[in-house]
Amino acid sequence: KYMTSAEIRQAFLDYFKQQGHEVVPTSPLIPANDPTLLFTNAGMVQFKDVFLGDDKRDYSRATTAQRCVRAGGKHNDLENVGYTARHHTFFEMLGNFSFGDYFKPEAIRFAWTLLTEVFQLPKERLWVTVHHSDDEAERIWKEDIGVDPERFSRLDEDNFWAMGDTGPCGPCTEIFFDHGPEVAGGPPGSPDEDGDRYIEIWNVVFMQYNRSADGEMTPLPRPSVDTGMGLERIAAVLQGVHSNYEIDLFQNLLKAAAAAVGTDDLNSKSLRVIADHIRSCSFLITDGVLPSNEGRGYVLRRIIRRAIRHGNKLGAREPFFHKLVAALVAEMGEAYPELAKQQDQVERVLLKEEQQFARTLDNGMRLLQQAIDELDGKVIPGETLFRLYDTYGFPVDLTADVAREHGFGVDMDGFEQAMAEQRERARATGAFSVDYNDKLDLEGETAFSGYELLEDSASVV
Ligand code: ATP
Ligand code: MG
Ligand code: MG
Ligand code: MG
């Protein structure tokens, strides 16, 4: 009998509570007052100002289970979903934090004790890395903890963590779990480390600097600690499975997705993508993001359309995506009451988006398939990307996702070029301007120059 995801989340928070940490609720996916960040991408985000010394709390140790989205900005895992066992667009990060309280020795000790004593993981399957400059962390691991030097290494960029291009950052030490020789991949720092045999489970960051826009690093008022462990990854370890998608939390989601699209293949890659995407989309809508053609809303729209396309690939011919919200609420509504409360709204928003995209998806896919069949090279040209984007509402990353399945690349420069020409034409004719990642509003505006619009797609990009 294994620990469920819910039990693991609770055990983590309980452990750090016992060690004097305040249990702080998860914050929303839209960071409060932080225009530098697209989405909350780590547990430390809600404490950014505390690290910087601009905000005071009445506790100096905290622990959270934080909902995170990594689908844009500095930490972007959208392209990894469906291709690795360990990446999601939405995941929960378990963390403990010290605001000028404890530092390296205690932080390392806490992590090791939780993993090897509370969770009883075998030490010989844990690998450790530290930043190449960090003699102190190496000494603590080797002398105080007694970690085997065979499973220890010093690394460079991977062991320096930063929230974004600016903000709190510092060297870190990471703990990996060895899923065994049946899985391809080398240990951290080795040439084939990108495989999924050695999976990073916990990152312990020694927050020491604030990086400014010009790259300068100023020391924080007090050295601090910020850690993050992916709930889905530690659940996979504790439940004896390799892929995150095999854990308890995903089983019912995958079944619901299979039923909604009408497939029996629970291991289908597309099904995993759909199960992943329903989490990020539902939580983003819960936190106030709506599909649109700019900024955060466009990231949401892109994720929804990718999910719809994968469902379509599996044979779905009717809206299916919104039907998965109920299964998600059953799985996560207890831990996240705000999600349960907004179930209707989330379903409505998704259904509307499905109905809209349905009007151009089939024709767009036909055009794309034709382009792929007729191409000489292995790169989808910019004009095709642009036409799919402009006329059929295919975000360019969606087209790239399809292309990748056929072993094709996309000509991004050509796409940008076509976009620039479009903008130029719009300026010349005094029409509205278009910008990828910027506003593209065709509602009522169908006077497009240069490109033939399908009748039914005029207001549907
Ligand atoms: P990786 O190298 O595997 O991409 P990372 O180094 O980018 O992970 P961190 O920024 O250190 O991840 O985040 C802390 C922890 O959060 C990771 O150790 C991992 O357990 C978890 N995590 C990070 N990204 C994801 C993701 N996309 N999906 C699920 N869990 C994640
Ligand atoms: Mg990563
Ligand atoms: Mg990493
Ligand atoms: Mg890391």
ipTM at complex level:
0.99
Pinpoint the alpha helices (H) of 33-169: 48-52, 104-113, 135-139
| pLDDT at position 74 | 80
pLDDT of residue 171 exceeding 90: yes
Helix then strand then coil, in percent of the chain rounded to 5, is: 45, 20, 35
pLDDT at 432: 52
Angle at which helices 295-313 and 248-261 cross, to 10°: 70
Helices (H), 408-457: 412-428
**What ligand is nearest to the CA atom of residue 199?**
1
Mean pLDDT of 16-27: 98
pLDDT in tens, 389-415: 999 999 999 999 999 999 999 999 999
How does residue 165 score in pLDDT terms, banded at 50, 70 and 90? confident
Q: What atom in ligand 1 is closest to the CA of residue 158? A: 6
Supply the pLDDT for residue 283. Answer: 98
Q: Which residues line ligand 1 (CB under 6 A)?
A: 70, 75, 77, 86-88, 91, 93, 161, 200-203, 228-230, 232-233
CA–centroid distance for 298 within its chain: 15
pLDDT in the model for residue 199: 97
Q: What residue owns the CA closest to ligand 1's atom 30?
A: 230
Mean pLDDT of 87-107: 98
Tell me the per-residue pLDDT of 351-375, one tens digit each, with 9 for 90 and over. Answer: 999 999 999 999 999 999 999 999 9
In the chain, the percentage of residues whose pLDDT exceeds 70 is 93
- Angle (CA) 375 381 383, round 5°: 125
> Does the CA dihedral 40-44-50-56 come out positive or negative?
positive
Contacts of 8 (CB under 8 A, 6+ apart): 231, 234, 235, 238
Give the residue, by CA position, lying nearest to ligand 1 atom 14.
Answer: 228
CA distances to 41, 68, 80, 291 from 37, in Å: 8, 12, 20, 18
Q: Which amino acid is at 237?
A: V
Q: Are 361 and 309 in contact (CB under 8 A)?
A: yes
Q: What's the CA gap between 112 and 115, in Å, rounded?
A: 5
pLDDT value at position 377? 87
pLDDT of residue 431: 59
Question: What is d(CA 406, CA 375) in angstroms, rounded to the nearest whole number?
Answer: 12
Query: What does the CA dihedral 432, 437, 442, 447 come to, rounded to 10 degrees?
Result: 40
Among protein residues, the one with the nearest Cα to ligand 1's atom 1 is: 200
Q: How far is the CA of 227 from the centre of ligand 4 (A)?
A: 10
Mean pLDDT, range 249-254, rounded to an integer = 96
Instruction: Determine the residue of 74, 179, 200 to mutate for testing ligand 1's pocket, defined as the one with the most ligand atoms within 8 A of the Cβ atom.
Output: 200
Ligand 1: which residue has its CA nearest to atom 27? 87
Residues 6+ apart with CB under 8 A from 281: 300, 303, 304, 307, 321, 346, 350
Which of 44, 80, 87 has most ligand 1 atoms within 8 Å of CB, for mutation? 87
